Structure 1
Amino acid sequence: MEQTKTPTPHIGAQYGEIAETVIMAGDPLRAKFMAENFLENPVQFNNVRGMLGFTGTYQGKRVSVMGHGMGMPSIGIYTYELFNFYGVKTIIRVGSAGSIQTNLHVGDLVIAMGACTNSNYAAQYELPGTFAPIADFGLVRGAAETCERLGYHYKVGNVLSSDVFYAENAHNDKWINMGVLAVEMEVAALYMNAARCGGKALAICTISDHIITGEVTTAEERQTTFTHMMDVAFSLV
């Protein structure tokens, strides 16, 4: 942890202004929504590049919420700085994902136990093989227990973190055959950063569209109505 490097090039907060647990969303307006609807006395700590961040309390516990942008390079930067320069111990991503399984529908939750990827993000570690990015088991277990208690429909398993949104050849059938539940764009980098930095991480995704059946939601619905995953994330604070 290098406190002398705060503020960082991408986060305008001073050391101590960010809680040890941060709940993150790709869309900074979703972070703002969480601050306004879940936190007591939220204080904004970041607006660099419009990537909003707030710290407040939830049921008496200090917690921060922040955007992380789209894609592994973006979440990779923000989570690296949070883990390494701000003393953050736990990062929970709440976001959207596209289902590639017929029994996983719009509005359902995915607790990402692991993350496959077509990214080259892990090459930086120069490992003599293939690294398997996985979530913290305690967070996975806690999220599943919350879903059971609240009656939320969910599945636990692998997601695909893809570098490409508009893919020429998605090869979804190959990922389907391997039991991958859904496609998103960030989880693998989050889990790799957590592993390298000694932190804890989990991603909880809401199915926003179905790549096979064509079910979709609007951008406004994704921003303000996907609250079940937020309920689960805040239960882990």
Structure 2
Amino acid sequence: MYHIGFERDDLGASPPEMALLSGDPERARLIANTYLQDVRILSEHRGLNSYLGYLPNNRPILSATSGMGAPSLSIVVNELVQVGIRQIIRIGTCGSIQPHIPVGSIVISSGALCRQGAANDIAPVEYPAVADPFLTVALVQAARKLEFEYYLGITASVDTFYEGQERTNSANPHLLRSLHGITEEYRRLNVLNYEMECGTLFKMAGVYGFAAAAVCGVVAQRTVAENVIVTQKNMAVNQAIATAIHAVTNCE
């Protein structure tokens, strides 16, 4: 595959059908080296690091990198499906837009408010962006088993980290009129969090015919401030990873 740097034949006689997908290549490496066994590097082409390994139950699995944002994710997911992947769990980070969801907790997305250009090339705006119910329940059960603080609900997936998430503390403090007040509007619609990939992933799953889910560590509390709380990022990310690993180890 042109972008991910490997093909189906590189996956061996018993190829994986499940992938854990991270935006950050270092997170993909962390998952592979910490949680998987007999890990083999498939590719580090373009920073889209991909690793083949095995869960404790000997199930083969990929830890792969999507890159930041929906356009990059759409390329990686398309090629992963071409090499035989049929289940994808996104493990990411997000910003809470509800006052009761703290930094350090995790959000499991049941669906997405999808404001993403890449998704519009795949399906109409009206096409639902929903997570696979079985993978989602597995994530919820894992979070409960591990006694993590988790929240289940709708995620706002947008294309930009700054303007699209109504951040004004940036190089461009002058937001478009259509973006003023958007966070409060989403809050009133019971949207839980901001991130940049779930909506396109979920639409691709519906169109392509694979199962997708997402769990994100909360690293910003947008009812208080715009900034990421770096001191609590590792805890949030590690809980998101552990939830996904437990879910895929204990589900078919």
TM-score by structure 2 length? 0.85
Stretches of structure 2 that go unaligned for 5 or more consecutive residues are 164-174
Match of 1:71? 69
For residues 166 and 12 of structure 1, the distance between their equivalents in structure 2, rounded to whole angstroms, comes to 31
Alpha-carbon spacing, 1:81–1:223, altered in 2? closer, same or farther (3 Å) = farther
Tell me, yes or no, if the aligned pair for 2:216 and 2:237 is still in contact at 8 Å: no
Give the direction of change, closer, same or farther, for the CA distance of 1:10–1:221 in structure 2 (3 Å limit).
farther
**Matched ranges for 1:46-65 at <5 A:** 46-59=43-56, 60-65=58-63
Contact 2:219 2:236 in 1 (8 A): no
> Cα offset for 1:209?
0.7
TM-aligned CA deviation for residue 236 of structure 1: 2.6
Distance in 2 between residues matched to 1:177 and 1:144, nearest whole Å: 24
Once the two structures are TM-superposed, the CA of residue 227 in structure 1 deviates from its matched residue by 1.2
Residue number among 32, 37, 42 corresponding to 1:35 in the alignment: 32
- In the alignment, the residues of structure 1 paired with residue 113 and residue 49 of structure 2 have an alpha-carbon distance, to the nearest angstrom, of 28
1:208 aligned partner: 219
Task: Give 1:134 shift.
Answer: 0.4
Tell me what 2:171 maps to: none
CA RMSD of aligned residues (A): 1.8
CA distance in 2, matches of 1:211, 1:94: 20
Residue 179 of structure 1 is matched in structure 2 by 190
Amino acid at match of 2:202: Y
What whole-Å deviation, never above 9, does each CA across 1:20-47 have from its counterpart, x for those lacking one?
A: 1000110001000111100111100011
CA–CA distance in structure 2, aligned partners of residues 95 and 160 of structure 1: 13
- Measured in 2, the distance between the counterparts of 1:33 and 1:20 equals 20
Distance, in Å, in 2 between the alignment partners of 1:223 and 1:185 is 19
CA distance in 1, matches of 2:69, 2:153: 20
Question: Which position in structure 2 is the counterpart of 1:25?
Answer: 22
Distance 2:222 2:235 in 1: 22
CA distance in 1 between counterparts of 2:211 and 2:135 reads 8
Query: Which whole-Å deviations, capped at 9, do the CAs of 1:203-234 have from their partners, x for residues lacking one?
Result: 1001011111127322x864686211111111
Identical residues among aligned pairs (%) = 27
CA offset digits 1:84-106 (Å, max 9, x no partner): x1110100000000000000011
Q: 2:114·2:129 contact (CA, 8 Å) conserved in 1?
A: no
| Counterpart for residue 116 of structure 1 | 113
SS for the counterpart of 1:172 is helix
Q: Aligned partners of 1:101 and 1:180: how far apart in 2?
A: 8
CA contact (8 A) 1:111 1:140 kept: yes
Distance across 1 between alignment mates of 2:26 and 2:206:
28
